[in-house]
A = this chain, B = another copy of it.
Amino acid sequence: MKLHSKMFSQFVRQLTTNSCNHQSVPLTKVRYPHLKRGQYAEISEKHIQMFERIVSKNQILTDPSDVEPYNIDWLKMVCGYSSVVLKPRNTEEVSEILKFCNDENIAVCPQGGRTGVVGGSVPVFDEVIVSTQLMNKIISIDPITGVLICQAGCVLENLDSALNEKGLTMPLDLGAKGSCHIGGNVSTNAGGIRYLRYGSLHGNVLGIEAVKADGKILDCLGTMKKDNTGYHLKNLFIGSEGTLGLVTKVAIKCPPKPKAVNVAFIGLESFENILSVFQLAKSELAEVLSAFEMMDAPSMHSVVDVYHVKSPVEKCPFYALIETSGSNASHDEEKLTSFLEKGMAEGLIIDGTVTGEPSRMLNLWQLREGIPEAILHSKENCYVYKYDISLPPQQFYQIVDECKKRLEGKNYSLCCGYGHVGDCNLHLNVSIPEYSPEITNILEPFVFEWTAHYGGSISAEHGIGFKKTQYLHLSKTAESIEVMRQLKQVFDPKGILNPYKVLPDV
């Protein structure tokens, strides 16, 4: 059973192409005129010839129309002007490319599936793009230990399919699974919808192979769950967004594929009731609880409108999607039924539906997973501010109300919140008819400062990338940022790897 069909992804991609806005994407250097290009070499014919000695011709793109898509992020918000894309097939080619670039002082933008939202995976200026697209081999799957070893360019959904055949599943799942690469997932420490059940990549990734800026290969590709021999270097690559090294291989421990999955979709009166129901779910569903997602009415109604689907429950101010997965269908159903009955008896749940039938579960998941795209493609929402933040439960939804207050009387179409409430991870979206510096100033840095004030994180899942470097200090202390700079110096003394990302300019 697959919860997220390829068909749905294709449907979404089609919508993206027909988007009302972003017909042309301004160059990042134009939109951010204060930014200065680093003192890196400009790519010449000589460099291209050298690249051709390292990889074969069909692994190099230089035709502007071929290169263009690699320069633009999927949100069409940032756009570099790189003239060359390199597609190494293996670690050795990556090593040779980086060694040459380091020697020649050429800036490099490592690129996976280009599904990030903070501009981390496309060039800012003319960095050479090194795409992991052709590094897409599964090296091994051990059905006994559950360990998967693969190249960095494997697409998440393909990994999950291959694992499914061996009775295993990926501990990571997210909306972009049809195109994101595992190397990018690891480099950004992707979170997603299974985080609640299986935890973070720091816990699940057993080993990493990465290439440093100087081309040296760091083989930390261990497969043992327990290995306390020296500093845990692999963990430094998790979430460093390609600025410390280019991840080439990953070993990850994969749990058994659940035998039974059920999804409940419920309507609620208030956000407080969502928190109460979440506590009830933790107690009643406990070890079989595998997702607890929330969405407010505006988020949900965007999906209903854009995809012309029918809501499975009556109109409510809030909705939640609850998934269980376990080893015994009747046990799980019994737990879920008891949980829902208690929730209704306590007046927390207004209306609800529950199913274990694959196609119906898929429909319910689409209501949640379709939101980001639906908001982007509502006709009246031509510019969307997307904030990916963590907040303590008490403040989780309050930020949405705070934003609405600040936007009162302004020309905005939508201010909504949805996300992984089980992980305290909110996606706050504000859409407006067209880009407005006034609205930007109302929202920023307000959202980030408010989040920091309550001990949240200004970037829960998506990293700092290019877009949030100036706000890093709100989530990290000056001493920590200083140490980060020193680490960057150790791994990449010339600063050729993914420049202008993660760390703010000094």
A-to-B contact residues, CB < 8 Å: 144-145, 188-189, 191, 195, 199-200, 202-204, 212, 216-220, 222-233, 235-236, 238-240, 244, 256, 258-259, 275, 279, 282-288, 326-328, 331, 334-335, 390-393, 420, 423-425, 455-464, 468, 472, 475-477, 479-481, 483-484, 486-487, 490-491, 502-503
Residue from B191, B279, B490 within 8 A of A226 (CB atoms):
B191
Bound form: Cα–Cα A491–B228 in Å: 19
Residue from B331, B423, B459 within 8 A of A335 (CB atoms):
B331
Contact (Cβ within 8 A) A232 B236: yes
Closest B residue to A290 using CB positions? B287
Q: A222-B457, A224-B456, A487-B231 are in contact. Are A327 and B287 (CB under 8 A)?
A: yes
Contact (Cβ within 8 A) A225 B238: no
Residue from B235, B279, B392, B464 within 8 A of A235 (CB atoms):
B235
Which residues of B are found within 8 Å of A328, using beta-carbon distances? 331, 334-335
Bound form: Cα–Cα A299–B94 in Å: 49
Which residues of B are found within 8 Å of A236, using beta-carbon distances? 231-232, 235-236
Bound form: Cα–Cα A218–B256 in Å: 38
Contact (Cβ within 8 A) B283 A256: yes
Known: A228-B460, A232-B236, A328-B331. 14 other contacts (CB 8 A): A145-B393, A189-B232, A200-B203, A217-B479, A220-B480, A222-B457, A224-B460, A226-B420, A229-B475, A230-B480, A233-B483, A233-B484, A235-B236, A285-B327
Which residues of B are found within 8 Å of A225, using beta-carbon distances? 195, 200, 390, 423-425
Contact (Cβ within 8 A) B288 A219: no
Contact (Cβ within 8 A) B227 A390: yes
A106–chain B nearest beta-carbon distance, Å: 22
Residue from B216, B275, B392, B476 within 8 A of A229 (CB atoms):
B476
Q: A145-B393, A203-B203, A235-B236 are in contact. Are A463 and B423 (CB under 8 A)?
A: no
Bound form: Cα–Cα A460–B126 in Å: 45
Contact (Cβ within 8 A) A475 B227: yes
A52–chain B nearest beta-carbon distance, Å: 28
Closest B residue to A420 using CB positions? B226
Which residues of B are found within 8 Å of A335, using beta-carbon distances? 327-328, 331
Contact (Cβ within 8 A) A232 B235: yes
Contact (Cβ within 8 A) B424 A390: no
Query: Can you offer 15 A-B residue contacts whose CB atoms are under 8 A?
Result: A145-B424, A195-B226, A200-B202, A202-B203, A203-B203, A217-B479, A218-B480, A224-B456, A226-B423, A229-B458, A232-B235, A233-B483, A256-B282, A258-B286, A286-B327
Which residues of B are found within 8 Å of A423, using beta-carbon distances? 225-226
Contact (Cβ within 8 A) B235 A326: no
A359–chain B nearest beta-carbon distance, Å: 25
Q: A144-B275, A144-B279 are in contact. Are A287 and B229 (CB under 8 A)?
A: no
Which residues of B are found within 8 Å of A327, using beta-carbon distances? 283-287, 335
Which residues of B are found within 8 Å of A200, using beta-carbon distances? 202-203, 225-226
Contact (Cβ within 8 A) B189 A228: yes
A503–chain B nearest beta-carbon distance, Å: 7
A121–chain B nearest beta-carbon distance, Å: 14
Contact (Cβ within 8 A) A231 B226: no
